[in-house]
Structure 1
Amino acid sequence: MNTVNVRNIEIGSGKPKVIVPIVAVTKEDILKEAAEIASLPADVLEWRVDWFENSEDLAAVKDVLKGLREVLGDMPILMTFRTKKEGGEKAISMQDYIDLNVEAAKSGLVDLVDVEIFSGDDTVSAILDGAHANGVKVVASNHDFFKTPDQDDIVSRLVKMQEMGADICKIAVMPQNRRDVLTLLSATEKMANDIADRPIITMSMAKDGVISRLCGEAFGSSMTFGAAGKASAPGQMNVETLVQILDALHQAL
């Protein structure tokens, strides 16, 4: 598998890298949380722009990104606008979605952007092309907050992301029971070992799925999410506890 290098982080080797999200509303609170995260054992900061009160204002978004870069130093920044249809705070037109991600990439202030793979192939391609032209990596994603698809369906969604050219392929699903968690882990192992030529990120959400956020190194998921303040999805653990568990599992493996 090819790894992805972002600043001083190599994604796809060793322990799963830890992403910590910010879901604050105001610039002041976003930068305050970022300063706290900068002192934590996190690898990547995810800014959830859909929570930002001025997310429709590209100048305001770039202003926050500039502040984040100053606060975070060399920590990589993943910028994500999670749409309403995939569990985010706001709806957005596809043209605005493209413009937001491409302009952020052009700014030189972000290292990765997230694109939802089922936003339409033209939209996805426009963001991929715009990001890659500016040296920014792309995380293609899909989120199902209602169910866990079967193994083949999970794998096929990840394969679509890889075939479209995403640098990292991510899926998050909701378990209805613990057997669903096993389905997610089985799909992860199959994709990582038999198909993927780049890093993947998988997780099963909520309490039943917590184990999937911890065992990525064993099954093939290259990154995981931990919470410093408010969690951005159900089942995220405190980042410091998460890192302790990841360290222990890494030593055992």
Structure 2
Amino acid sequence: MTGKVTVRQTTFQTGTTKIAVPITGRTTKEIIIQAKNALAHHPDVIEWRIDYYADVLNIDDYLVTYHQLREALGDTVLLTTFRTTGEGGEADLDDAGYTALYKRLIDNQLTDMLDVELHFSEAAISNLIYLAHQHGIKVILSAHEFQGTPPELEITNLLERMQNQNADIAKIAAMPTKFKDVLTMMRATASESEKMAIPIIAISMGGLGKISRITAPLFGSVVSFATVGDASAPGQIAIDDLRKEMKTFETK
């Protein structure tokens, strides 16, 4: 069994890996400049990291920025992510603030895809996923492990838990301390990608984990994150280099 999710004209399917470029501007001007620079390299997805955006909680300013960004993107998929400090992000919100922000994005249909962090309460996650699906928005449910790479069984259990919570795509990123950790991540994901009904994103972070970004198609990871300018996570690779290297490993 292999998962498949289509957003706009882009299909995320096991065996192929799409490229996402994060934008991390703090002002409207920076965000639009970064987006246009990224689009010149033809990514499949633009990830708007709204935890960097200074006016993220100001709805009027947010709408102005969103509409400019949407116009610039055309039919390129927009993934919106508020990454909390505990998950490696730039800002923090409690359950109530995080849920309120995401509900506003969902109710106003201000994205194509939404990244939801797994560490929030199960009730909050279920509610957000339900609301997103009601508005035609796909959800990536994500977990980040910065202290190390979990054992293989724990990785597979996490991915299955995300599927059971009705995510459209399950994402796990972990920091390796030795190359064996990278292999653990790749082996666990390869096994699960053949069994799960939804696609998987799996990343081994940092310098040790760069190989996981390049060989993503081999072990079933459907998105690899690349840079145009500054990186938003450790180990990201420039988009043109990643695309060239990754082509060798595509299985479809």
* CA deviation map 1:89-143 (0-9, x unaligned): 1110212211222221222331000101121101101210111110000000000
How do 1:94-109 residues align onto structure 2 when only pairs under 5 Å count? 94-109=95-110
3-state DSSP of counterpart to 1:46 = strand
Q: Which amino acid aligns with 2:196?
A: A
Give the counterpart letter for 1:144 in structure 2. Answer: E
Q: Does structure 2 conserve the Cα–Cα contact (< 8 Å) formed by 1:15 and 1:247? A: no
Moved more, 237-246 or 163-172: 237-246
User: Counterparts of 2:11 and 2:165 in 1: how far apart (Å)?
Assistant: 22
The C-alpha deviation readout for 1:63-84, integer Å capped at 9, x for no partner, is 2221110111110100000011
Displacement over 3 Å in runs of 4+ = none
Mapping for residues 127-146 of structure 1, pairs under 5 Å: 127-146=128-147
State the 1:59 CA deviation: 2.8
Residue 50 of structure 1 and its aligned partner are, at CA, apart by: 0.4
Tell me what 2:176 maps to. 175
Identify the residue that residue 233 of structure 2 maps to in structure 1: 233
| Contact 1:114/1:138 (<8 A) preserved | yes
Match of 1:222 in 2: 222
Aligned to 1:37: 38
The Cα of 1:216 is off from its aligned counterpart by 1.5
Structure 1, unaligned stretches of length 5 or more? none
Q: Is the 8 A contact 1:62 1:104 kept in 2?
A: no
User: Root-mean-square deviation (CA), in Å?
Assistant: 1.3
- TM-aligned CA deviation for residue 172 of structure 1: 0.3
| Equivalent runs, 1:156-167 vs 2, <5 Å | 156-167=157-168
CA contact (8 A) 2:17 2:250 kept: no
In 1, Cα distance between equivalents of 2:250 and 2:115: 27
Q: Which amino acid letter does the alignment assign opposite residue 244 of structure 1?
A: K
- Is the Cα contact below 8 Å between 1:41 and 1:239 reproduced in 2? no
- Shift of residue 14, structure 1, vs aligned partner: 4.7
Which gives a bigger RCO, structure 1 or 2 (Cα 8 Å, sep 6+)? Answer: 2
CA distance in 2 between counterparts of 1:86 and 1:93 reads 13
Asked if 1:245 corresponds to 2:235, the answer is no
**Structure 2 contact 22–227 (Cα < 8 Å) conserved:** yes
Q: Is the 8 A contact 2:14 2:221 kept in 1?
A: no
Query: Given residue 174 of structure 1, which amino acid in structure 2 is its aligned partner?
Result: M
Range moving further from structure 2, 157-166 or 35-44: 35-44
Give, in whole Å, the separation in 1 of the partners of 2:65 and 2:99: 19
CA pair 165-90 structure 1, distance change in 2 beyond 3 A: same
The letter of the residue matching 1:183 is T
**Cα separation, 2, equivalents of 1:112 and 1:80:** 9
Give the CA deviation at 1:27: 1.0
SS at match of 2:250: helix
Give the CA deviation at 1:248.
Answer: 2.7
**CA 1:147–1:192 in structure 2 vs 1: closer, same or farther (change >3 Å)?**
same
SS at match of 2:158: helix
Number of corresponding residues: 251
Q: Which letter does structure 1 place at the counterpart of 2:120?
A: S
Whether the 8 Å CA contact 2:45–2:79 is kept in 1: the answer is yes
- For each residue in 1:224-248, what CA deviation from the matched residue of structure 2 results, as whole angstroms up to 9, or x when unmatched? 1001111110000001111111223
Does the CA contact (< 8 Å) of 2:16 and 2:220 recur in 1?
no
Q: Is the CA contact (8 Å cut-off) linking 1:41 and 1:243 kept in structure 2?
A: no
> For residues 152 and 63 of structure 1, what CA distance do their matches in structure 2 show?
45
**Partner SS state of residue 37, structure 1:** helix
Alignment TM-score, normalising by the size of structure 2: 0.96
Residue correspondence of structure 1 range 73-152 to structure 2 within 5 A: 73-152=74-153
Q: What does residue range 193-212 of structure 1 map to in structure 2 within 5 Å? A: 193=194, 195-212=195-212
Counterparts of 2:117 and 2:58 in 1: how far apart (Å)?
21
